Amino acid sequence: MQDVIVSVAQILGRPGAGRTINLSRPVEGVETVLASVAETPVEARLRADSVVEGILVSGAVEGATRLQCARCLRAFSSEVGVEVCELFADGPGQPADEDAYAVEGEVIDLAPMLRDALTLALPLRPLCREACAGLCGSCGQDLNEGPCGCVQEELDPRWAGLSALRDKLNH
């Protein structure tokens, strides 16, 4: 887990003061089952603003992603972008919540915030395209490349009873 340490010494404890933070660096370990953030640098254009409670970090984070289509399993790449606005708490009476971000001395570590924000922004069900035809459930052929020849004639069991009833009524 690589830190992304930014000094806030100049603005800490001076509500109203702020600084810009522009980052371009890889963020490791951001992945879900079908998606991950690529090793290429993540771009972050942020502001750190001194507030009474600590440091408020806000702005835009963008990165390249590597995805696997949830229907046809093909690998493809895309981009992810997310707006962040997070408080890094400072001073006594520190957050009881261990997951909250905090000022450490005169620095903040942006890595956990970047990782959390990007992970939440990854698609849960990536699709190579909206109309992806997926794979045949019987033979596994990629139906984007054409029909496979399997005969799809499974009747939904929930309708089986109905059609039996209909047959009866018609006789």
Produce one character per residue of 15-45: b if its CB has 16 or more CB atoms within 10 Å, e if not.
eeebeebebeeebeebeeebbbbbeeebebe
- Per DSSP, 144 falls in state G
When binding is defined by CB under 5 A, the residue of 55, 67, 72, 117 that contacts Zn ion is: 72
Question: 98 CB contacts (<8 Å, ≥6 apart)?
Answer: none
Asked if residue 150 binds Zn ion (CB under 5 A), the reply is: yes
Asked if residue 139 binds Zn ion (CB under 5 A), the reply is: yes
Pick 97 or 145: Cβ nearer Zn ion: 145
Separation in Å, CA 96 to CA 40, 100, 112, 149: 35, 8, 17, 61
Least distance from Zn ion to the Cβ atom of residue 131, Å: 9
Q: Report CA torsion sign: 84, 88, 93, 98.
A: positive
Binding string, 91-130, against Zn ion, x = CB under 5 A? -------------------------------------x--
Least distance from Zn ion to the Cβ atom of residue 73, Å: 7
Asked if residue 69 binds Zn ion (CB under 5 A), the reply is: yes
Closest CA to 146 of 138, 157, 135: 135
Asked if residue 138 binds Zn ion (CB under 5 A), the reply is: yes
Pick 94 or 138: Cβ nearer Zn ion: 138
Least distance from Zn ion to the Cβ atom of residue 147, Å: 8
Asked if residue 71 binds Zn ion (CB under 5 A), the reply is: yes
- Footprint of Zn ion on this chain (CB under 5 A)? 69, 71-72, 128, 132, 136, 138-139, 148, 150
